Amino acid sequence: MRQSRLLAVYCALLLALISGCGSSDKAPASSSTTASAGAKIIVFAAASLKKTFTDIGEQFKTDNPGASVEFSFAGSSDLVTQLTQGAPADVFASADTKNMDKAAQAGLLAGDPVNFASNTLTIAVAPGNPKKIASFKDLTQQGLNVVVCARQVPCGSATQKVEQATGVTLNPVSEESSVSDVLNKVTTGQADAGVVYVTDAIGAGDKVASVAFPEAAGAVNTYPIAALKGSKNPELAGKFVDLVTGESGQKVLNAAGFAKP
């Protein structure tokens, strides 16, 4: 009887040893999966990209299980200032090449930026266009409350180009730090008209009407994107850039009214 009990204990120990050896032979999780699990990237992006990048961000999380993305949307000039002052970020997407060049000159980029979209100005007015605005020059009508972007912001710089090309000088009641702020002034009735991007007017739906003007074709803004040298997750930062510039990201951007760069 004692020998039987000893044999049973021996067999149990042998089985445990074999089982342990088998488990050690399992392949470890791939490095990419390990890198993605629980990792987060921070994307600094122009205010006009808010809706599209939010949608692209959801796709990014689906493509990279366990990873997350945090956005900071603002005027491109404000974002560059924050980055040069040491704000942590992994990716920067600008609404113009000028502000991306500033980031490059400051040594912030991990590689060459890639142009991924372009955008054109339009005039946003209240639904039904009650002020009967039909041209860029109409924005100079007496008593008309017009809002534009500040000149250091890409949409403001583009507006200034139109002014110079047409000889029309606007007298805005305010200059905003981002195009989304301009749009908000119009949708809330604080302004009669605002110079925004086509994509912003489309995104606002029936809250505004849009008045196109031909001179806008001479002030098209090109959008570049780049991973940043200080990224704590360079692999994921590169994947986000690839998603934006790839087929999936381009479909989202095109649907929102962005044109090819």
Q: Residues 219, 50, 64, CA angle at the centre, nearest 5°? A: 125
Using DSSP bridges, classify how beta strands 68-74 and 146-149 pair: parallel, antiparallel or unpaired: unpaired
**Fold entry, domain 39-118+222-256:** D-Maltodextrin-Binding Protein; domain 2 (3.40.190)
126 alpha-carbon distance from chain centroid: 27
Phi and psi at 135, nearest 5°, equal: -155, 170
Q: Are 218 and 139 in contact (CB under 8 A)?
A: no
Please, what CATH class does the domain formed by 121-218 belong to?
alpha beta
Phi and psi at 80, nearest 5°, equal: -60, -40
Q: In the prediction, which pLDDT does 137 show?
A: 98
Give the three-class secondary structure for 32: helix
Model confidence, pTM: 0.85
197 marked among binding-site residues: yes
72 marked among binding-site residues: no
Phi and psi at 106, nearest 5°, equal: -85, 0
Q: Which long-range contacts (CB under 8 A, 24 or more apart) does 36-39 make?
A: 36/64, 36/65, 36/66, 36/67, 36/236, 37/65, 37/66, 37/67, 38/66, 38/67, 39/66, 39/67, 39/68, 39/233, 39/236
Q: In the prediction, which pLDDT does 11 show?
A: 42
**Residue ranges of domains in the chain:** 39-118+222-256, 121-218
Q: Which residues are within 8 A (CB) of 103 and not within 5 positions of it... i.e. 6 or more apart?
A: 80, 83, 84, 92, 94, 109, 226, 228
Q: In the prediction, which pLDDT does 38 show?
A: 74
Q: Are 40 and 67 in contact (CB under 8 A)?
A: yes
Domains 39-118+222-256 and 121-218 share a fold: yes
Measured CA distances, 15 to 9, 22, 136, 225 (Å): 10, 11, 84, 57
Residue tagged 């990201």 (tokens): 249
pLDDT tens for the chain, residues 1 to 261 = 444 444 444 444 444 444 444 444 434 444 444 455 679 999 999 999 999 999 999 999 999 999 999 999 999 999 999 999 999 999 999 999 999 999 999 999 999 999 999 999 999 999 999 999 999 999 999 999 999 999 999 999 999 999 999 999 999 999 999 999 999 999 999 999 999 999 999 999 999 999 999 999 999 999 999 999 999 999 999 999 999 999 999 999 999 999 999
CA within 13 Å, CB half, 252: 19
Q: Strand ranges (DSSP E) for the chain?
A: 40-46, 68-74, 91-93, 114-119, 121-125, 146-149, 174-176, 193-197, 209-211, 221-227
Q: In the prediction, which pLDDT does 8 show?
A: 47
CA-based nearest residue to 29, from 20, 41, 21, 38: 38
Q: Residues 88, 89, 93, CA angle at the centre, nearest 5°? A: 145
Q: In the prediction, which pLDDT does 36 show?
A: 58
179 marked among binding-site residues: yes
